[in-house]
A and B are shown apart, each in its own frame.
Chain A
């Protein structure tokens, strides 16, 4: 005997479908690019062995520095500037990270037409606003102060 279990809505299933594929692709990318990074198959922008070294005049290793000090020390580009360094082993890892970070935006864009077709106006507005918020966060426009 089969019972009819309550089913998830169309947009919920669509969201889950995109999330599922994107998540596995993102994680696989993350692992593959990390192997490339630590194996030294591609040269790193910041040499791996440097990370644990303590620079002259400091009492902490490079990875113990604040983010903005680390970025200054190695002249790391801000925001999406890492894209220009994607040929380097360390910054290649950012492809998988960015993919995982962009996945939710993609999922919202996928369910938006479904919500529009259903004339679910409040959720259309919410979805558009969420895409705007996540895009703003991803844009690199926002700057946090450093010390």
Chain B
């Protein structure tokens, strides 16, 4: 009962916050028209004081951090479409911040996951090499594209992620009858303690070449949109390559610390990083994640998962329509 009340409070808070942002002067076509008129006249300044934005950004990212944990997604995948769609920041700076948000989250989670042997260095290193090289290419493409094109592609990608989240099955312990030659040569195998059944679980992977090939695409998309890539990493590691779900989730999270690093450097070197956007976002998401983990221990987050899917559906549609100049 108290759980459902808590979830309801989070839901109401999230809806109120989104409604609040939509009502701020910089949002919506009316506001943009007003801004244009103001420029056409004489006023060079925005009506909203500068400090409002980092403050609102902190509050929003705090809520996103909670929702990301409860919805089982990375912060970056929520951050870019929502902040890009509803804040007055250019999508270049939002993507730069999105990568750093995902990077900070992965760096924070990495040590614990590696020490507990849930994230596997042997699985992550070959994948990271491919994905991080591809992420550089993605970042360069992303920064070269026009914002409209980025928004259209981003919107389409987010809607694709929604479909994956809604439809994709997960397998706790996939069967790997014959590990492939590449995984055998690289000794990509491991053993971990599965606390839910109180046993040690040995695991192997298969279809490694196919998996590595897909990480080229995943890396490019991560760099291009600044999304992080847990939404794609986990299905490939789990469903295609056959790593157990816990190993896949943990390795994916750790993997982001390397993949996003390479793309983040490109954004940083191209001047697409604004501390005023980055720092409140990182702190907000991380604090929100800590609160989210505490709520997660008590709550059954299936309803939240669908709420996150709804939020992504809305944000993805917004990005798509913004790119198509239908909803400016």
Contacts and interface: CB of A to CB of B under 8 A. Distances in A.
Secondary structure call for the B interface = helix
Contact of B114 (A16, A31, A37, A71): A16
A78 B270 contact: yes
A17 B70 CA distance: 28
A31 B269 contact: no
A113 interface: no
Given A15-B114, A31-B283, A67-B93, A94 B268 contact: yes
B140 interface: yes
A130 B135 CA distance: 13
A104 B258 contact: yes
A137 to B, nearest CB: 4
Interface stretch (B2-10, B238-246, B272-280, B317-325): B272-280
Given A38-B54, A48-B50, A54-B35, A130 B258 contact: yes
| Size band of the interface chain A makes with B | 35 or more
A140 to B, nearest CB: 4
B69 interface: no
B86 interface: no
Contacts of A86: none
B196 to A, nearest CB: 14
B90 A68 contact: no
B271 interface: yes
Contacts of A59: 32, 35-36, 39
Contact of B276 (A63, A101, A143): A63
A23 to B, nearest CB: 4
Contacts of A123: 122, 125, 186
Interface string B180-206: 000001100011110000001000000
B133 to A, nearest CB: 5
Interface stretch (B158-166, B168-176, B259-267, B295-303): B259-267
Contacts of A6: 117, 190-193, 200
A13 B115 contact: yes
A93 B275 CA distance: 6
Contacts of A13: 114-115
A79 interface: yes
Contact of B49 (A38, A52, A103): A52
A38 B276 CA distance: 9
A126 B125 contact: yes
B100 interface: yes
B107 A100 contact: yes
Given A101-B103, A144-B270, A134 B35 contact: no
Contacts of A78: 269-271
Identify the interface centre among B121, B122, B186: most chain A CB within 10 Å of its CB. Answer: B121
Given A19-B114, A23-B108, A137 B90 contact: no
B262 A7 contact: no
Contacts of B263: 137
Most chain B beta carbons < 10 A, residue from A19, A51, A105, A143: A19
Interface in A102-147: 103-105, 111, 122-123, 126-127, 129-130, 133-134, 136-140, 142-147
A142 B139 CA distance: 10
Given A97-B273, A122-B186, A19 B257 contact: yes
Contacts of A64: 88-90
6 contacts: A16-B112, A52-B48, A61-B88, A97-B273, A133-B136, A138-B269
Give 4 nearest A-B pairs by CB, closest first. Answer: A93-B275, A144-B143, A20-B111, A16-B114
